[in-house]
Structure 1
Amino acid sequence: MTDWQTIRSNDFRVPEGGDVPRLVAELVDMLASPDPETRDELGYSALATWIHEGVVPDDQLRPLGDLMVQRFGSDQVQVRTFAPLVLDVMVATRGVCEPAWVDAFERWYAAESDLRGHDPQLGWLHAVAHGADLLGELGLRPDVPARRMLDLAATRMLAGTPVVWQAQEDDRLAYAVGRVLTRADLSRTDAVGWLDPVADVLAEGRPGPVPAQVSNTLRTLRMLYLVVDRGVRIGPDDVRPAPERDAVLARIAEVLHPASPWAW
Structure 2
Amino acid sequence: MTDWAQVRANGFAVPAGRPVDELVAELSGMLRSPDPQVRDGQAYSTLATWIGEGVLDADALRALGEEMVTRFADPEIQARTFAPLILDAIISQGVFEPSWVPPFERWYVGEEDLRGFDPKLGWLHAVAHGSDLLAALARVQAVEPVQMLRLGVGRLLTPTEYVLRDLEDDRLGFALGVALTREDLTGADAVGWLDPALRAVVTVPAAGFAPEISNTLRTLRVVYLMVDHGVRLDDERPNVQIPHRDQVKAKLLEVFQTATPYYF
Give TM-score scaled by structure 2 length.
Answer: 0.98
8 Å CA contact 1:136–1:177 kept in 2: the answer is yes
Q: What residue in structure 2 maps to residue 182 of structure 1?
A: 181
Q: Say which SS state the counterpart of residue 78 (structure 1) adopts.
A: helix
8 Å CA contact 1:221–1:252 kept in 2: the answer is yes
8 Å CA contact 1:192–1:247 kept in 2: the answer is yes
Please list every run of 5 or more consecutive structure 1 residues that lacks an aligned counterpart in the other structure. Answer: none
CA distance in 1, matches of 2:205, 2:101: 35
CA distance in 2, matches of 1:57, 1:18: 16
Q: What residue in structure 1 maps to residue 56 of structure 2?
A: 56
CA distance in 1, matches of 2:17, 2:73: 35
8 Å CA contact 1:5–1:42 kept in 2: the answer is yes
* Residue identity matched to 1:151: R
Structure 1 residue 259: Cα displacement: 1.6
8 Å CA contact 1:205–1:258 kept in 2: the answer is no
CA distance in 1, matches of 2:22, 2:102: 29
Q: What residue in structure 1 maps to residue 137 of structure 2?
A: 138
CA distance in 2, matches of 1:228, 1:38: 38
Structure 1 residue 15: Cα displacement: 2.1
Q: What residue in structure 1 maps to residue 42 of structure 2?
A: 42
Q: What residue in structure 1 maps to residue 199 of structure 2?
A: 200
Structure 1 residue 143: Cα displacement: 0.4
Q: What residue in structure 2 maps to residue 250 of structure 1?
A: 250
Q: What residue in structure 2 maps to residue 237 of structure 1?
A: 236
Q: What do residues 147-175 of structure 1 show as CA deviations (whole Å, max 9, x unaligned)?
A: 11111011001000000001000110000
Q: Where does structure 1 differ by over 6 angstroms across 4 or more consecutive aligned residues? A: none
8 Å CA contact 1:31–1:79 kept in 2: the answer is yes
* Residue identity matched to 1:118: F
- Structure 1 window deviating more from structure 2 (198-207 vs 167-176): it is 198-207
CA distance in 2, matches of 1:59, 1:140: 21
Give TM-score scaled by structure 1 length.
Answer: 0.98
Q: What do residues 92-149 of structure 1 show as CA deviations (whole Å, max 9, x unaligned)?
A: 1x21111110111111111111001111100000000000111111011110011111
For the pair 1:9 / 2:15, whether they are aligned, the reply is no
Q: What residue in structure 2 maps to residue 261 of structure 1?
A: 261
Structure 1 residue 57: Cα displacement: 2.3
TM alignment of 1:96-107, pairs within 5 A: 96-107=95-106
* Residue identity matched to 2:15: P
CA distance in 2, matches of 1:26, 1:15: 13
Q: What do residues 170-216 of structure 1 show as CA deviations (whole Å, max 9, x unaligned)?
A: 11000000000000111110000000011000112222232110110
8 Å CA contact 1:158–1:198 kept in 2: the answer is yes
* Residue identity matched to 1:16: A
CA distance in 2, matches of 1:65, 1:16: 24
Q: What residue in structure 1 maps to residue 94 of structure 2?
A: 95
CA distance in 2, matches of 1:107, 1:191: 22
CA distance in 2, matches of 1:165, 1:147: 24
Q: What residue in structure 2 maps to residue 168 of structure 1?
A: 167
CA distance in 1, matches of 2:208, 2:253: 22
8 Å CA contact 1:48–1:86 kept in 2: the answer is yes
Q: What residue in structure 1 maps to residue 107 of structure 2?
A: 108
Please list every run of 5 or more consecutive structure 2 residues that lacks an aligned counterpart in the other structure. Answer: none
CA distance in 1, matches of 2:236, 2:191: 27
CA distance in 1, matches of 2:203, 2:156: 16
Corresponding residue pairs, total: 263
CA distance in 1, matches of 2:139, 2:98: 14
CA distance in 1, matches of 2:18, 2:28: 16
Q: Say which SS state the counterpart of residue 233 (structure 2) adopts.
A: strand
8 Å CA contact 1:182–1:243 kept in 2: the answer is yes
CA RMSD of aligned residues (A): 0.9
Identity %: 52
Q: What residue in structure 2 maps to residue 84 of structure 1?
A: 84
For the pair 1:155 / 2:154, whether they are aligned, the reply is yes
CA distance in 1, matches of 2:249, 2:236: 24
8 Å CA contact 2:58–2:95 kept in 1: the answer is no
